[in-house]
Amino acid sequence: AQSVTQLDSHVSVSEGTPVLLRCNYSSSYSPSLFWYVQHPNKGLQLLLKYTSAATLVKGINGFEAEFKKSETSFHLTKPSAHMSDAAEYFCVVRPVGNDMRFGAGTRLTVKP
């Protein structure tokens, strides 16, 4: 079965410090991987995607992620957190086919 595991349900950082949100995937094939963000009472916005091109992927709002096949990981990072980054973040896997599965989510809190 194809799945993703987000290793932290909640991450808290101070404004201006780095952000690391961890995601591991399980897939028989080389999947497409995505990070989405959901602000309270809002829909889902795509931050970035990996589709077997460059392993280091840059997204919107200063976020980036690195695909590491040997570690089956796709961790999301940002050098400096802003208050507006506080939200729920989902790692999503799309293996071969039309089937997109979400991780459990990581709630990011940013302290002033």
Partner 1 sequence: DTEVTQTPKHLVMGMTNKKSLKCEQHMGHRAMYWYKQKAKKPPELMFVYSYEKLSINESVPSRFSPECPNSSLLNLHLHALQPEDSALYLCASSHLWGQRSDTEAFFGQGTRLTVV
Instruction: Report d(CA 96, CA 48) in Å as an integer.
Output: 19
Residue 76 interacts with partner 1 (CB under 8 A)?
Answer: no
Smallest distance, Å, CB 25 to partner 1? 14
Instruction: Report d(CA 42, CA 53) in Å as an integer.
Output: 30
Task: Kindly state the helix (H) or strand (E) to which residue 36 belongs, with its residue range.
Answer: strand 32-38
Instruction: Report d(CA 51, CA 11) in Å as an integer.
Output: 26
Residue 36 interacts with partner 1 (CB under 8 A)?
Answer: yes
Which tokens is 1 given?
């079965």
Smallest distance, Å, CB 17 to partner 1? 25
Residue 28 interacts with partner 1 (CB under 8 A)?
Answer: no
Instruction: Report d(CA 35, CA 102) in Å as an integer.
Output: 9
Residue 43 interacts with partner 1 (CB under 8 A)?
Answer: yes
What is the per-residue binding string for partner 1 in 46-65, x denoting contact by CB under 8 A? x--x-x-x------------
Residue 32 interacts with partner 1 (CB under 8 A)?
Answer: yes
Which tokens is 32 given?
């497409």
Q: Which residues contact partner 1 (rule: CB under 8 A)?
A: 32, 34, 36, 42-46, 49, 51, 53, 90, 92, 94, 96-105
